[in-house]
Amino acid sequence: MPDTPHYEQQYLDLMRHIWRHGDERIDRTGVGTRSILGATMRFSLADDAVPLLTTKRVYWKAAAREMLWFLTGDTNIRELVRQGVHIWTDWPLDAYRKATGETIDRDAFEARIIADEGFALEWGDLGPVYGAQWVNWPRYEPAGEGLYRRAEKGHNQIAALVEAIRVTPGSRRLLFTGWNVAEVAQMALPPCHMTYQFQVSNGKLNGLLFQRSCDLGLGFAFNIFGLSMITRMLAQQCDLEPGEVVWQGGDVHLYLNHAALVEEQMSRVPSGAPKLRIKNRPSSIFDYAIEDFEVVDYAPQSHISAPVAV
């Protein structure tokens, strides 16, 4: 037995705590959750370590594709669906069904999103979610006579962050956020992984995420991978070594219909030390491709599927 606990033990302990002691209540989706407010976990990124869960298989490539999609500023699911990533389809699908009364299934809806650009424009957009805010946060400029107009190009928080890490590594303002108060109402879902902050310490880059709402059974595995991936990409672009990631949850919950997943996962023992390799160094943070990433030494236990609350 190793003398230090496996990094994933924090996750399993939190899961057990919430399942046993969380407040049970009806949430927005109507499914019901057990929930607590406030939790922190820390994971090392040293030597390419990546905090993938090992007690179930995590489809990290879907999470990586989602992260790369955010960085393009795209908010339409079409490109994700083209790449075989289905994690955002349920929200536009739900809106479409409600608006039209059609009983189209998910596969047929996705096929139509891919085949028909006009349909995708009309029904595939999530509103000004993550990507829009990260790289194109609306900016307004004077238009004369006391009037203002929306500037063609918004703030690119990610480009500014790379520059700031390089030029002012001692700064305590190295962050970006998706929580644009003025636009939250237009989003299919207000950002959950809402604020990312970075710190340079001893030549290492540390990354922190504040996640206001966390589906611990489903979303967390993707969110912690995404945090690790963006921290690694920023470190590479800024010639820093990866340090650690700190995850902070606001409302951290387990959906009541995830009982089978929770019981199964809590019965499993984490093992192994997966690594995330970045095989190239693109010329900017916006030029990474899925082929640049590789996970090695990942031998998880079997996948556990669970329904997503819409």
Ligand X SMILES: Nc1nc(=O)c2c([nH]1)NC[C@@H]1CN(c3ccc(C(=O)N[C@@H](CCC(=O)O)C(=O)O)cc3)CN21
Q: Considering the rule CB under 6 A, would residue 215 count as an interface residue with ligand X?
A: yes
* Residue 255 one-letter amino acid: Y
C-alpha 152/C-alpha 139 separation (Å) is 8
Q: Considering the rule CB under 6 A, would residue 165 count as an interface residue with ligand X?
A: no
- Residues at the contact surface with ligand LAUPNLSC, assessed by CB under 6 A: 28, 189-190, 192-193, 213-215, 219, 223
Among 43, 222, 247, 293, the residue binding ligand X under the rule CB under 6 A is 222
Q: Please, what is the minimum distance in Å from the beta carbon of residue 213 to ligand LAUPNLSC?
A: 3
Which residues, in sequence order, are bridge partners of residue 229?
none
Among 88, 123, 134, 293, the residue binding ligand X under the rule CB under 6 A is 88
Range 7-11, long-range pairs (CB < 8 A, 24+ positions): 7/43, 7/44, 7/49, 7/51, 7/270, 8/51, 8/53, 8/54, 8/55, 8/270, 9/270, 10/41, 10/42, 11/41, 11/53, 11/216, 11/220
Q: Please, what is the minimum distance in Å from the beta carbon of residue 126 to ligand LAUPNLSC?
A: 11
Q: Please, what is the minimum distance in Å from the beta carbon of residue 193 to ligand LAUPNLSC?
A: 5
Q: Based on CB atoms, which residue is closest to ligand X, 80 or 205?
A: 80
Residue of this chain nearest to ligand X (CB atom): 219
List of E strands, 188-236:
193-201, 204-215
Q: Please, what is the minimum distance in Å from the beta carbon of residue 37 to ligand LAUPNLSC?
A: 12
309 is in an annotated binding site: yes
255 is in an annotated binding site: yes
Q: Considering the rule CB under 6 A, would residue 109 count as an interface residue with ligand X?
A: no
Burial class (CB in 10 A: 0-12, 13-18, 19+), 1: exposed
C-alpha 182/C-alpha 201 separation (Å) is 34
Residue 238 is a catalytic residue: no
Output the CA–CA distances (angstroms, integers) from residue 72 to 2, 79, 146, 156, in the order listed.
42, 11, 33, 11
C-alpha 285/C-alpha 170 separation (Å) is 21
User: Nearest 5°: phi and psi at 100?
Assistant: -105, -20
Residue of this chain nearest to ligand LAUPNLSC (CB atom): 219
Contacted by 175, from ligand X, ligand LAUPNLSC, none: CB < 5 to 8 Å by type: none
Q: Please, what is the minimum distance in Å from the beta carbon of residue 32 to ligand LAUPNLSC?
A: 11
Task: Show binding-site residues.
Answer: 28, 172-173, 212-215, 223, 253-255, 309
**Active centre residues (catalytic):** 192
Q: Which residues contact ligand X by CB under 6 A?
A: 59, 62, 86-88, 189, 215, 218-219, 221-222, 305, 308-309
